[in-house]
Chains A and B, each alone.
Chain A
Amino acid sequence: MRTTELPAAESTRPRTVVVGSLLATGATFVAFAALVSVYVQQRQHARALGEEWFPSGTVELGPAGMMMMTLMLSVVTVQWAVQAARAEDRPHGFIALGVTLMFGAAVINQFWFVYQDTAFAIDGGRAELLFYAVTGSFIAMLIAAMATLTVTTIRSLMGPFGRDLAHAVQASAMFWHMCVLCYFLVWYVVFITK
């Protein structure tokens, strides 16, 4: 009997880049949340002993709030890039990715100002040490997010937007959103509640 071999159906679960990035993003968030929890626990411990955490007036809320606003804007622009990639709209995609990268650079610049402004010594005490550990980790994550966005942008310059690239932009955007969420934690825990 002759049999007919039909081609295999296309998988309905092809979004491997998105799934993989989601898992990596989740792992990164767990690491950052653990870091923040160490910070909160140590601060609580110090206060329970009646110790001062940061000297009053050293950590200003203004620059931190500005960074929060900048990152909130970047949430919009990175999502704009995702939509542009899905719609294969190259001009809007490039503009959105470029503006997002600019916002990221602005936040790093602002952090540089904060470090100069506070002038903490890393061995000045537990508060200073954890301040640098938490914010430094955030900056490292932000640089990683900017690097992935840059790679995505370069890839998009080399060829047409396709489904794979749209998924890559979506994955990069997911990591970016996680970074913003992490900064929200920093903003609240380090700069607001100090």
Chain B
Amino acid sequence: MTLTESPVAESEAAADTDGAVEPESSAGALEAPRGLAQPFMTSDAAHVGRLFVVASLVMALGKAVIGVLLSFGRTDAVAPDDLFGGLNAYFRLWTLYRVSFVLLVVMPLLLGLALAVVPSQVGARNVAFGRAALASFWSWLIGAVIVVASVLAGGGWGAVDGVTGNESDAMALTLLGTGMVIVALLLGAIVVATTVISLRQTGMGLLDVPPFSWSMLVTAAVWLFSLPVAIANIVVIYADLRGRPAIAFGRPESPDIWLQLDWLVEQPAVYAMAVPVLGIIFQAVGASVGSRSSRPEAILIVIGLFGLLAVGGWSQDYFTAPQDLRDGLVYVAFGLAAVVPVVATAGGVGELVLRGSKTRDRLLDARVLGAGAALKLLGAAALVGALRVIEPLDLLETSVTWSVFHGVVVAGLIAAVAALGTWPQLLFGPLQQKLARPAIMLLFGGGGLLVLADLISGFIADDPDLMALALDGSIALNVVALIGSVLVLGGLAAVLAAVASALRPSTAHASEAA
């Protein structure tokens, strides 16, 4: 047995309750650039991580506004044509909302948390490639700006009512931005994974890393197997779109482009952004109640299993007959099995609570509230996902797809709030409970309503309506969805307020004094 593979008591003893360990040596500590140059020059991953988190939260706020507008468009109070200036414009924002919440909000948010937290957890001074982490952030941000700007300029991922040649150029720009964002996220994932694999403290085996670091390693593996497939899709679409006239895959007047990429926001690929949520849940609860699992290896297995079930590049049905793939045994098995790791996580969290301190303050801590809310929403999403793949229910091409999506996305947002409270010293400082708790409750309420509205709408819809271009469900359900969207928007505003409050020097000093 080699030394590197054997767990040692010292490293475990060095780990505090939130899993952070002291770096091996402080020698060679980074000299960070100061002032305005810092965001452009720093190779300190903690700083890059914070940039990712703030930018993602700002993006989330913008996308939540779009969500409210889309929900308002479903209420029959005003026709989408009037509200957005045409059905095609509605479709553009509808697709932007979905792609953005995955690629521009939740994935970079969790990646940012990982860049800030993982090095400390594995006992490294910094991530493996500090400058690559910074390149990841800036290329993601530039790609995100390109995506949003090009969509607003008439681009997007296809159309439904025919477009002009100018819009085809904007679509090419959207594809370019999407590809750039994906490559940036992959680069960040590689940085995090390499840090866990190569820069662990001496004596810390791969199975000894804390749950969040492990979940990020699993996430990186899942992204590396899934996101490059989207790059391949984009290459094919782009080649067709620019080869004029587009003949097959990139026809700008049809929704074909979206249909080649929609697997990214559907089961099972949508679970890929929820894998770190499990790691955060375990650590947030453990840190709050002050306990550790008696079976840490079981936690790693649960997270690994969820990651395995989140690999989704194979599940795109554009190139095959949809019924061949989605009625197939593998797709159904993936959908049903995703419930298992979430239920196992609930069991693991229950054990942590039972073994820990169960005082009222600790159980009402924002970390526990956030972890519990994220777990409930993720569990709801996994259950709805299991229902969705049951063929006799005929839910595959209905709004139930977006019930799963909303559950996972909002669970990711809530888990991020729990993480901000769990590792304040590595992020923005202590969050004010009076802001963090309402933020979590608003997000949980909003996410729950969205999951419920889309689920029931899917059950009562007469015809498959995956695009939601026709207004499905009853007006009452659409109003419920609108309320949910508004609550999510309010929750995100509260999260940003909590982060801003934590960043204020006076708050930090007061917290230190306390």
Binding site for B on A (CB under 8 A): 7-9, 11-16, 19-20, 23-24, 26-28, 30-32, 34-35, 38, 41-42, 45, 122-123, 125-126, 129-130, 132-133, 136-137
Contacts and interface: CB of A to CB of B under 8 A. Distances in A.
Given A13-B4, A38-B319, A19 B239 contact: no
Contact of A20 (B24, B191, B229, B249): B191
Interface of B: 2-4, 24-25, 128-129, 132, 186-187, 190-191, 193-194, 197-200, 202, 220, 224-225, 227-229, 231-233, 235-236, 239-240, 243-249, 313, 319-320
Nearest 7 CB-CB pairs, A to B? A31-B228, A34-B232, A122-B243, A8-B24, A30-B228, A35-B232, A34-B229
A48 to B, nearest CB: 11
Best-buried of A12, A14, A23, A35 by chain B (most CB within 10 Å):
A23
Contact of A126 (B199, B200, B248): B248
Contacts of A11: 24, 199, 202
Given A34-B313, A129-B247, A27 B190 contact: yes
Contacts, number: 103
B224 A23 contact: yes
Chain B interface helix/strand/loop/mixed: helix
Given A20-B129, A38-B319, A126-B247, A32 B232 contact: yes
Nearest to A26: B224
Contact of A19 (B198, B227, B229, B319): B198
B239 A136 contact: yes
Which of A27, A41, A126, A132 has the largest number of chain B CB atoms within 10 A?
A: A27
Contacts of A19: 128, 194, 197-198
Given A8-B24, A12-B4, 4 more contacts: A11-B24, A16-B128, A23-B220, A31-B232
Nearest to B223: A27
A133 B319 contact: no
B221 to A, nearest CB: 9
Given A23-B220, A27-B186, A137-B235, A129 B199 contact: no
Contacts of A13: 4, 197-200
B31 to A, nearest CB: 20
Contact of B235 (A15, A30, A122, A133): A133
Contacts of A30: 224-225, 228-229, 313
Contacts of B200: 13
A12 B199 contact: no
B197 A123 contact: no
Contacts of B191: 20
A19 B248 CA distance: 39
Nearest to B203: A9
A123 B243 contact: yes
Nearest to B250: A129
A27 B228 contact: yes
Nearest to A42: B319
